[in-house]
Amino acid sequence: MESTKQMAVIVQKFGGTSVGNPDKIKAVAQRVMNVAKEGNSMVVVLSAMSGETNKFVELAHAMQEQPDPREFDMLLSTGEQVTIALFAMAVKAAGMDVISLLGDQVKIITDASHTKARIKSIDTELIEKYHKEGKIVVVAGFQGVTPDQHITTLGRGGSDTTAVALAAALKADVCEIFTDVDGVYTTDPNMCKSARKIDKISYDEMLELASLGAKVLDIRSVSFAKRYKVPIHVRSTFTDTEGTRVVEEDELMESLPVSGVTYNKNEARITISKVPDTPGIAAKIFTPISAADIVVDVIIQNTREGGWTDMTFTVPLTDYDQAMGIVEKVCADIGAESFVGDPDIAKISIVGVGMRNHSAIASTMFQVLAKEGINISLISTSEIKVSCVIAEKYTELAVRALHDAFELDKATPTEEH
Amino acid sequence: MESTKQMAVIVQKFGGTSVGNPDKIKAVAQRVMNVAKEGNSMVVVLSAMSGETNKFVELAHAMQEQPDPREFDMLLSTGEQVTIALFAMAVKAAGMDVISLLGDQVKIITDASHTKARIKSIDTELIEKYHKEGKIVVVAGFQGVTPDQHITTLGRGGSDTTAVALAAALKADVCEIFTDVDGVYTTDPNMCKSARKIDKISYDEMLELASLGAKVLDIRSVSFAKRYKVPIHVRSTFTDTEGTRVVEEDELMESLPVSGVTYNKNEARITISKVPDTPGIAAKIFTPISAADIVVDVIIQNTREGGWTDMTFTVPLTDYDQAMGIVEKVCADIGAESFVGDPDIAKISIVGVGMRNHSAIASTMFQVLAKEGINISLISTSEIKVSCVIAEKYTELAVRALHDAFELDKATPTEEH
């Protein structure tokens, strides 16, 4: 009957602050209905109301020091269930048809890694059936179910992953991620007044920015989107302006070599000096650290003359004290001369797919920092990223200087139309 | 391996006040574990933490004046999900094995009457599997699932029904209903000091007591228990003393003719006077009332000379104003002379299977009330019950006089050992 009309399938995801109380849920429902009324098939993915998850975490820890992961998921997954039910009521109250679905009802099948499960498959049959009936479908984010019916959750940023995975399975025209900012910026606007919203960015750049601390989009959902070529649109819950579109690299025309400058103040540096340079020494140092579930980021090894080496690496600031304790023991075991830690560091990074075709981007970065009198204590690079560890107090200065030097305040040719 | 040991299957149900906070949940978990350690296979049915359901009702009404029933169930069912997860954590923390299950995981299949669904079947396979693995099984009360996977709730007192239905399906040795009182009393102890806890009561008596206002056990669960001969034990969450056992009638030996005196102040009386006594007149009066979802309790019709009749009936106090409005219209339609209502009434009832073998129980009741100068305005009787409607102010007096007259403060022969 409606085959003459080309309807789009649109997935929209709203986070916890966007659905934090009944009025906000009503506003989100109105926004979704406006798009539905244009003839689009809507899938809405919601997080728990802000504050709810923390409440559950507190309750769980009141019961058990280390809450049982399966039961933790049973508890946490109720947060999204509440939101989707309330959202559906708001839509019904406004006279449109809607149905709410849980992860197990959709059949979002995951592995059994409770609290950090990975999606294995999604059944689109039920959603497509409800779309044919003209219903808005609202799905609980963050949750799935194992093949034998245990409820799982997807871990941090899980609702983003739910949205992208649904968009991939449904071959949706777009997956819109609504947040409290209006897109991805060239750097932190609070730190640099000339920061500019990026109109289009590649999956790879977004991955680097996400992993480096840009909090608008969860890293797992970006890699999922990249794999299945899901067009993502990161935009504001509170305005109708275009946000940032995350797209395939070949959709980006000519672009500046650097897309963004990012920083991370939540790491600490540890240096072990004068380690006997024997085979397996790195394993001896890092095995006990990873056994303590501490994620080491940058690692640099400098070999000295005379069979000695220095080892420097960064760890999350929250794990710094524990890591220093482990290092103390390790130093005694391996016969290192000394070790020193510094929690007051920042990692400054420049990211851009354009680096692949531009040499000397890294050296430009070093020159810019040198000109400002900022000492670099660690360097690490990837194909589309250069990171430097510096003293934390220079963070703002470094970000602004790099933003200016790479002319990020100027729109690229692609973005002008 | 364990076939030499005769293990009992025990279903225990705890209500919202028994699991109202983390400490109470821990106490309930400890109580369950003590029974499990004796070698019994445990099924625990929990309600939502007290206060949670009200919170959800408020949220729902903030979204939609008349919340969509399917979405209301989606919302409400999260309350029990939270409790069973926390309970399971408490058991795990104490080192015993446990698993929480939702209605749809157990496969508690219901019809599709959202917010007041009826159980059609229960699958015991999963629970029995976990029992074989030595796990305590904790099940979310109040909820089920339709054959096509929509979540339903069972209405008021639904967790009692869940417990009894599970006990029936599992052929459990006993279904223990834990409440904040220590059993069923011969009358309200707050009203009559000599009220006595009943040790054993028949299903039929319990049904009459439940429907007449004794709040310890939901009426639907009692009729379910009667049909499937589930032995129920109503007892206190806070003590280890025996409560009241609800059993088949033939398990009760000789007993007093009256088991209990109960009252209900939450009704109102309406009388329509001088109605033309024509066929179908009752239908004309009660059809619009039931169409407004008002449950009429006692109905009395008195025929006068000359082709006129008077019609008196009771309605819930909360529906009184609405019912009076309907009656006003109906009176005009049917040409009744007048109507009058009285919200200040009480219904006093005596209940007992022994009435079947004792004549004159009803007349004794009338004499006792007359001796106290209490006027009776309506009488209704069943095989094991006599109810009188009196002025509300005489409630306490009537309850005490009847309790004394039928010697309910004395233990029956059955109950002495």
DSSP B29-55: HHHHHHHHHTT-EEEEEE-PPTTHHHH
Order the strands of the B108-110 sheet from edge to edge: B119-122, B108-110, B143-145, B151-153
User: What is the pLDDT at residue A356?
Assistant: 75
Q: Cβ contact (<8 Å) for A78 and B74?
A: no
Q: How far is CA B219 from CA B95, B161, B170, B213, B271, in A?
A: 37, 9, 21, 10, 28
B268 shares a domain with B150: no
Q: Tell me the Ramachandran region of residue B183: left when phi exceeds 0, alpha when psi lies from -120 to 50, beta otherwise.
A: left
Suggest the residue from B23, B33, B74 to mutate for an interface test with chain A (most A CBs closer than 10 A): B74
Q: In the A/B pair of chains, how many CB contacts fall below 8 A?
A: 101
Residues B47 and B163 in one domain: yes
pLDDT of residue A6: 59
Residue A255's pLDDT is 64
Neighbours of B407 (CB within 10 A): 14
Write down the pLDDT at residue A293: 83
Residues B22, A81: C-beta atoms closer than 8 Å: no
Structure tokens at B309: 């009749």
The mean pLDDT value for B140-165 works out to: 95
Choose the mutation target among A19, A82, A133 for the interface with B, i.e. most B CBs under 10 Å.
A82
Confidence at residue A158, expressed as pLDDT on a 0 to 100 scale: 93
Q: Which residue has the higher pLDDT, B213 or B404?
A: B404
Flag if B86 and A60 touch (Cβ within 8 Å).
yes
CA dist B132 and A292 (Å) reads 36
Q: Which of residues 93-112 of A touch B (CB under 8 A)?
A: 93, 99-100, 102, 104-105
Domain-embedded: residue B260 = yes
- Does the structure show a pLDDT above 60 at B389? yes
The b/e string for A338-366 (b: 16+ C-beta within 10 A; e otherwise) is: ebebbbebbbbbbbbbbbeeeeebbebbe
DSSP string, A181-236: SSS-BSS-TTT-TT--B-SEEEHHHHHHHHHTT--SS-HHHHHHHHHHT--EEEEE
Whether residue B85 has pLDDT greater than 90: yes
* CB nearest to B100's CB, from A64, A74, A81: A74
What residues of A are in contact with residue B151 (Cβ under 8 Å)? Answer: 102
Report the distance separating Cα B289 and Cα B320, nearest Å: 11
What is the predicted pLDDT for the residue at A10? 98
Optimal mutation site among A33, A82, A89, interface B, most CBs of chain B within 10 A: A89
Angle, alpha carbons B254-B257-B258 (nearest 5°): 125
B35, with CB counted inside 10 A (0-12, 13-18, 19+), is: middle
Asked if the C-beta of B63 comes within 8 angstroms of chain A's C-beta atoms, the answer is yes
- Residues from chain B that touch A107, judged by Cβ atoms under 8 A, are none
Could you give the CA distance from residue B85 to residue B139 in angstroms, rounded to a whole number?
10
pLDDT at position B411: 64
Interface contact B92, partner A, CB < 8 A:
yes
Furthest-apart CA pair in chain B: how many Å? 82
Report residue B404 as tokens.
């004394």
- How many residues belong to chain B? 417
The pLDDT score that the predictor gives to residue A1 is 40
Which residues 273-302 of A have a C-beta within 8 angstroms of B?
none
* Residue contact B74–A104, C-beta within 8 A: no
* d(CA B135, nearest CA chain A) in Å: 14
pLDDT for the residue B55: 95
Are residues A258 and A147 located together in one domain of the fold? no
- Both B267 and B395 in a single domain? yes
- Give the CATH number for residue B372: 3.30.2130.10
* Whole-number Å distance between alpha carbons of A281 and B52: 56
Q: Which amino acid is at A164?
A: V
- Is residue A255 located within the same domain as residue A176? no
Maximum average pLDDT range among A216-230, B16-30, B196-210: B16-30
Average pLDDT, chain B: 90
Predicted local distance difference test score (pLDDT) of residue B140: 98
Residues A288 and A377 in one domain: yes
- Report the b/e string of A202-233 with b at 16+ CB within 10 A: bbbbbbbbbbbebebbbbbbbbbbbeeebbbb
The pLDDT of residue B368 is above 50 = yes
- The model's confidence at residue B2, banded by pLDDT at 50, 70 and 90, is very low
Disruptive mutation site among B89, B102, B135, B145 for chain A (greatest number of A CBs within 10 Å): B89
Quote the DSSP letter at residue B114: T
Within 13 Å of residue B228, how many CA atoms lie on the same side as its CB? 22
Q: Is residue A222 part of a domain?
A: no
Q: A124-163: b or e for each residue (b if 16 or more CB lie within 10 Å)? A: bebbeebbeeebbbbbbbbbbbbeeebbbbbbebbbbbbb
> Which residues of chain B have a CB within 8 Å of the CB of A60?
85-86, 89
* Cross-chain CB nearest to B64 (options A93, A100, A102): A93
Closest Cβ opposite residue B67 in set A89, A99, A100: A89
B146 inside 8 A of chain A by CB:
no
**Among B315, B312, B305, B228, residue whose Cα is nearest residue B268:** B315
Does B355 lie in the same domain as B255?
yes
Does the residue B226 lie in any domain?
Answer: no
Type of residue numbered B414: T
Count of domains observed in chain A: 2
Which of the four pLDDT bands, split at 50, 70 and 90, describes residue B416?
very low
Residues of A in contact with B25 (CB under 8 A): 63
Residue B69 contacts A where some CB pair is shorter than 8 Å: no
What lies within 8 Å, CB to CB, of B324 at 6+ separation is: B270, B339, B341
Give the ranges where A239-357 is alpha helix by DSSP (H). Answer: 281-291, 320-334
Here the tokens at position B288 are 């619009």
Number of Cβ within a 10 Å radius of residue B370 = 11
SS3 A354: helix
pLDDT confidence tier of residue B252, bands split at 50, 70 and 90? low
pLDDT > 90 fraction of chain B, expressed in percent and rounded: 62
Residue A304 falls inside a structural domain: yes
Q: Do B89 and A149 touch (CB under 8 A)?
A: no
pLDDT band at B309 (very low <50, low <70, confident <90, very high): confident
pLDDT at B253: 56
User: In the prediction, which pLDDT does A281 show?
Assistant: 81
Structure-token match 């524990």, residue found: A322
CB B77 within 8 A of CB B151: yes
Same domain, A148 and A285: no
Q: What is the mean pLDDT of residues B76-98?
A: 98
Name the stretches of chain A with pLDDT < 70: 1-6, 211-214, 251-255, 357, 359, 411-417
Residue in B with minimal Cα distance to A26:
B63
Q: Report pLDDT for A175.
A: 97
Chain B residues close to A68, C-beta within 8 Å: 88-89, 92
Gap from B49 CA to chain A (nearest CA, Å): 12
CB contact under 8 A, B63 and A100: no
- What type of residue sits at position B260? G
CATH of the domain at B168: 3.40.1160.10
| Chain B: residue whose CA lies nearest to A138 | B71
CA distance A162 to B388: 61
A65 and chain B in contact, CB less than 8 A = yes
Q: Identify which of B71, B77, B84 has the shortest CB distance to residue A88.
A: B71
3-state SS, residue A246 = strand
Burial class of residue A407, CB neighbours in 10 A (0-12, 13-18, 19+): middle
Per-residue confidence (pLDDT) for residue B291, from 0 to 100? 86
Q: Are strands A136-140 and A98-101 parallel, antiparallel or unpaired?
A: parallel
Q: Do A72 and B63 touch (CB under 8 A)?
A: no
Q: How many residues does chain A have?
A: 417
B343 belongs to a structural domain:
yes
Considering the domain boundaries, does residue B50 fall inside one?
Answer: yes
Burial (CB count within 10 angstroms: exposed 0-12, middle 13-18, buried 19+), residue B365: buried
**With contact defined as beta carbons under 8 Å apart, do B165 and B13 qualify?**
no
B78 with A75: Cβ contact below 8 A: no
CA dihedral B181, B183, B187, B188 (to 10 degrees): 0
B88 interfaces chain A, CB cutoff of 8 Å: yes
Q: What is the DSSP letter of B197?
A: B
In the structure, what pLDDT confidence band is assigned to residue B415 with cuts at 50, 70 and 90? very low
Q: Of B186, B138, B153, B146, which is closest to residue B53 (Cα–Cα)?
A: B153
> Closest Cα to residue B263, out of B318, B200, B319, B185?
B185
B338 lies in some domain: yes
A8, A174 Cβ separation under 8 angstroms: yes
Regarding whether B173 and B271 lie in a shared domain, the answer is no
Nearest to B68 among A82, A88, A105 (CB): A88
Structural domain harbouring A158: 9-180
Q: Are both A67 and A153 inside the same structural domain?
A: yes
User: What's the longest Cα–Cα distance across chain A?
Assistant: 82
Compute the distance between CA of residue B358 and CA of residue B256 in angstroms, rounded to an integer: 9
Of chain B, the end-to-end C-alpha distance in Å amounts to 37
Residue B204 domain flag = no
The whole-number pLDDT of residue A212 equals: 66
- Phi-psi category of residue A33: left, alpha or beta, with phi > 0 → left and psi -120 to 50 → alpha: alpha
- Strand A174-179, strand A232-236: pairing: parallel
A93/B65 Cβ within 8 A: yes
Domain end call among B155, B179, B203:
B179
Chain B residues whose CB is inside 8 A of the A81 CB are 74-75, 77-78, 81
pLDDT tier at B301, thresholds 50, 70, 90: confident
Q: Measure B316 CA to nearest chain A CA, in Å.
A: 29
Of A180, A199, A224, the domain-final residue: A180
Distance from CA of A90 to the nearest CA of B (A): 5
Last residue in a domain, options A180, A210, A235: A180
Q: What is the pLDDT of residues A387-401, one digit of tens each?
A: 899 999 999 999 999
Q: What pLDDT, on the 0 to 100 scale, is given for residue B71? A: 98
Compare CB distances from A86 to B59, B90, B93 and report the shortest one's residue: B59
Instruction: Give tens-digit pLDDT for A308-348.
Output: 888 889 999 999 999 999 999 999 988 899 999 999 999 99
Nearest to A63 among B25, B104, B151 (CB): B25
B63 with A90: Cβ contact below 8 A:
yes
Q: Report whether A116 contacts A50 (CB < 8 A).
A: no
Same domain for B257 and B403, yes or no, is yes
Q: How far apart are alpha carbons A136 and A41 in whole angstroms?
A: 7
Q: Residue type for A242, please?
A: E
What is the distance between the alpha carbons of residues A199 and A410, in angstroms, rounded to a whole number?
12
Same domain, A297 and A173: no
What is the predicted pLDDT for the residue at B214?
64
Using a CB-CB cut-off of 8 Å, the residues of chain B touching A91 are none
Instruction: Provide the pLDDT for residue B327.
Output: 94
For residue B165, what are its two tokens?
A: 């239905």
Which residues of chain A lie closer than 8 angstroms to B71, CB-CB? 85-86, 88-89, 92, 100
pLDDT for position A122: 96
- Beta-carbon separation of B56 and A92 below 8 A: no
Mean pLDDT confidence for B322-337? 92
The pLDDT of residue A252: 63
